[in-house]
Chains A and B, each alone.
Chain A
Amino acid sequence: MIEIRDVSKWYAQFHVLKRCSTAVGQGEVVVVCGPSGSGKSTLIQCVNGLEPFQEGEIRVDGISVGAPGTDLPKLRARVGMVFQHFELFPHLRIRENLCLAQEKVLKRSRDAAMAKAAALLERVGLREQVDKYPGQLSGGQQQRVAIARALAMDPIAMLFDEPTSALDPEMIKEVLDVMVALAQDGMTMMVVTHEMGFARKVADRVVFMDRGEIVEDAGKDAFFGSPRSDRAQLFLSKILAH
């Protein structure tokens, strides 16, 4: 579904991504972790073309993201993305947040978009909030709305860029629960996160990044059981210590 091959990216002189290669198969859940500044967020933003990259190739459902002729809006509409800071549109009610792209991009009718929005809000447990503005919701609720907004586009895959990093601890679970349910429903997911509990529960594979490189790319059990690299071992010992 998502193939990343030898992707390199520079910010001026700074080499952020160094020949990164990995893949996410249909229905697979891949967790990307690593210390901050390791390039994991940059990598996931490259997948739907929010960040350009200079070398290598990324294919989503067979379509090359970086190729000049690619219709990026069309491709992005098929890949859901959830951000660290939710990025709901603060000037629009929850209902409009969910309907905007359905109507503008997928050309759904108002009724169809609303029906979809209502069903998804129900699924994330926020049906009552449909007429509120994002600012009236808690962080955890906002992030669940953001997930619903992405799902409203019927995506073939979902990208999560540190979806719980900006949340208060007591709200992390409600967001992770939604993500776990999504994973168990068979959604193809690429998730940048530090939540190793989530990785243990639903990940098929774990990708460990450090200083712009993919250091390890292993099955969940192999990764947690016996990480091959020192860097991954060190990272795990730090993150699992508390």
Chain B
Amino acid sequence: MFANFDFDVIWRSLPYLFRDGMTFTLSLTALATAGGLVLGTLFAMLRLSAFTPLAKMIAGYVNLIRSLPLVLVIFWFYFLIPYVGQWVLGTARPIPIGAFPSVAITFTLFEAAYFAEIMRAGIQSIPRGQVAAGYALGLTYWQVMGSVVLPQAVRNMLPVLFTQTIVLFQDTSLVYVVSLPDFLGAASKVAQRDGRLVEMYLFAAVIYFVVSYGASRLVRRLEARVAIAS
């Protein structure tokens, strides 16, 4: 099998794979992580708030999204968002939104559901006395959240948050269903074009492994550094 292994095809396609493919994958990962974390944190706060109708709605959303396969959600959003745009803006035609914004929105909303659960656990891990102490000093709800609860919640949940991000990094490859050129998609294209499936898919696997495993090692070292001194 390795006798006629063609390393040259990998070498030749490197610029395309990384400049186009990996850039796309990393941008999508970064965007969805940032957006998902912010939105997810907001969801978690609302879900834990005393405002029950909204809390129930958020709970419903989180449970729904977490029960659906990501591929299905990507499909749905890709075909649905133009029509939602048409309905919201009242235009005559569906709003063309472009594949990248579409999947960026999809991944953000999808990840928000997962991050919401992680952040909910994180917020609940903070003793009530901490919140009381914040209030007793005259801080408002948002100040208590921003300065006391969330910084500790994020620290407590850091390993899980990073693990989720690494999973997301791998999951971005699912954009192939809407024909977007992420890293795996780019490798796949070259593989099909040059008839070098084994080389390209093996290489893609190696890169995913190196990035994911490297990131998880990095997380462990980071964890030790940000752990609250005690």
* Chain A positions near chain B (C-beta within 8 angstroms): 45, 48, 50, 72-81, 83, 85, 87-91, 100-101, 104-105, 133, 135-136, 149-150, 153
Cβ of A101 and Cβ of B151 under 8 Å apart?
no
Are A104 and B147 neighbours in the complex by a CB distance under 8 Å? yes
A90-B230, A91-B155, A133-B229 known; A50+B132 contact, CB < 8 A: yes
Give B154's nearest chain A residue, CB to CB.
A91
Asked whether any CB of chain A lies closer than 8 Å to the CB of B224, the reply is no
Cβ of B230: which chain A residues have Cβ within 8 Å of it?
Answer: 90, 133, 135-136
> Interface SS of chain B: helix, strand, loop or mixed?
helix
Interface residue? B209 (CB, 8 A)? no
Residues of A within 8 A of B138 (CB): 73-78, 101, 105, 153
Which among B129, B151, B228, B229 is the interface contact of A87 at CB below 8 angstroms?
A: B129
- CA of A48 to CA of B134 in the docked complex: distance in angstroms? 12
In the complex, whether B130 has a CB less than 8 A from a CB of chain A is yes
Additional pairs, 4, CB under 8 Å, beyond known A72-B135, A79-B136, A149-B137? A45-B132, A83-B133, A91-B228, A136-B229
Given A91-B151, A133-B230, answer yes or no on A50-B137 (Cβ-Cβ < 8 Å).
no
Q: Which of B130, B138, B230 has the most CB of A within 10 A?
A: B138
Question: 11 A-B Cβ contacts within 8 A?
Answer: A73-B138, A76-B137, A76-B138, A83-B133, A89-B130, A89-B134, A100-B137, A101-B139, A104-B139, A104-B147, A105-B137
**Interface flag for B216 (CB, 8 Å):** no
CA A78 to CA B127, docked complex, whole Å = 24
Tell me if B124 is interfacial: C-beta within 8 Å of chain A. no
Q: What residues make up the interface of B, taking CB atoms closer than 8 Å to A? A: 127, 129-130, 132-140, 143, 147-148, 151-152, 155, 228-230
| Nearest Cβ on chain A to B134's Cβ, whole angstroms | 8
- Contact, CB under 8 Å: B152 / A85: no
The closest CB in chain A to the CB of B141 belongs to A73
Q: Which residue from B129, B148, B151 sits with its C-beta under 8 Å from A83? A: B129
A89 CA to B146 CA, complexed, in Å:
13
CA distance A163 to B11 in the complex (A): 69
**Residues of chain A lying within 8 A (CB to CB) of residue B133:** 81, 83, 87-89
Cβ contact within 8 Å between B228 and A77: no
- Give the Cβ gap from A240 to chain B, nearest Cβ, in Å: 30
Which residue of the partner chain A has the closest CB to B136? A81
Contacts of A149 in B (CB 8 A): 137
Which listed residue (B129, B136, B147, B228) contacts A76, Cβ 8 A? B136
Complex partner residue of B139 from A73, A75, A150, CB under 8 angstroms: A73
Look across to chain B and name the residue whose beta carbon is closest to the beta carbon of A106. Answer: B138
With A and B bound together, what is the CA distance between A133 and B151 in angstroms? 15
The distance in angstroms between the C-alpha atoms of A48 and B135, with both chains bound, is 9
